[in-house]
A and B are shown apart, each in its own frame.
Chain A
């Protein structure tokens, strides 16, 4: 589990760095959490609040490896794109320009996350083209879980909070691997720690 923690840590740290560069502001990162969540309890972790989710499928050496998600509340999403686009109104609706900006941020962060974890593990993980949804967070996560390869009762979430206090931006980067991908992670990590 410690090694898994480290895996999430390295990915999130790289994602935090890229976010900080894009905003030209410091970004604080929480201790990465690995949560095992029963699907029946998903609502206690992710509610019905409106949020923007930029979703990527994990591809590369493991096809359909699971998902990586850049999650940002609707309010924070406006602060984020305002900062990027040089705007100031925090109450405006999100438009196409915001959507492009969110996709771009998500893209850069997911790539940074996966580059770092792939380097540690020694195999290639690539993000699929991104899909953006701005809707009830629970509904989006539930839809992803329903279309995972295996019929599962629990999901493992690698979740790290990224906060930019200066611009009031609170976001999360979440990796939700398939069971088969988790097995590959564990095998690789064991090999790294106990090289034969």
Chain B
């Protein structure tokens, strides 16, 4: 998934369950209980972003980016294939809100997503350096590998701020 030099600053849109690896700006809009996970290689100035919807893949392998337990290894493998070393990786996470407490028939998916991401990262000896998770509001997350791996978060009524 290497790409030619970006023609413009328009970010690659990462839909639910999708991911991207490279140096162009990437964006996941309107995260509710979903998680936007970014991993930046500070030596190579490239990174990867994934838009996770559920904690467990339960054996499914056709959409690895959709589940926390398969999405984290997916990004790590892609980055390793491109020559990234674990010691250079900077991990950030946003999302995991709980917008509908009343319909809590499936526990808090946002929180479970975030916990699963943390657990799989720990298994891989990585930790999150910055995160903005939980709460009740939706978020749009943007990732700029070409600007030092900057990650910004914006809510419905707010301006984007860096995490």
Contacts and interface: CB of A to CB of B under 8 A. Distances in A.
Interface of A: 39-43, 46-48, 50, 55, 57, 64, 128-129, 131, 133-147, 151, 153
A48 B140 contact: yes
A138 B109 contact: no
Contact of A135 (B53, B109, B156): B156
A146 B34 contact: yes
A138 B29 contact: yes
A143 B32 contact: yes
Given A39-B53, A142-B33, A48 B16 contact: no
Contacts of B31: 139, 142
A128 to B, nearest CB: 8
A138 B16 CA distance: 11
Contact of B138 (A140, A146, A153): A140
A147 B101 CA distance: 11
Contacts of B16: 39-40, 42-43, 142, 145
Contacts of A128: 102-103
Given A139-B30, A140-B138, A143-B32, 13 more contacts: A40-B18, A47-B30, A48-B140, A64-B105, A129-B102, A135-B156, A136-B32, A136-B139, A140-B99, A145-B16, A147-B109, A151-B54, A151-B60
A137 B140 CA distance: 11
B156 A136 contact: yes
Contacts of A131: 100, 102-103
A146 B103 contact: no
Contacts of B106: 147
B13 interface: yes
A135 B97 CA distance: 12
B7 interface: no
Q: Which 3 A-B pairs have the closest CB atoms?
A: A139-B138, A138-B30, A143-B32
Interface string B102-122: 110110011000000000000
30 contacts: A39-B15, A40-B15, A40-B18, A43-B13, A43-B30, A48-B29, A50-B157, A55-B100, A55-B103, A64-B105, A135-B155, A136-B137, A136-B140, A137-B30, A138-B32, A139-B30, A139-B34, A139-B139, A141-B30, A141-B32, A142-B31, A143-B97, A143-B98, A143-B99, A143-B109, A145-B53, A146-B34, A146-B54, A147-B109, A151-B60
Nearest to A147: B106
Contacts of B34: 139, 142-143, 146
Nearest to B60: A151
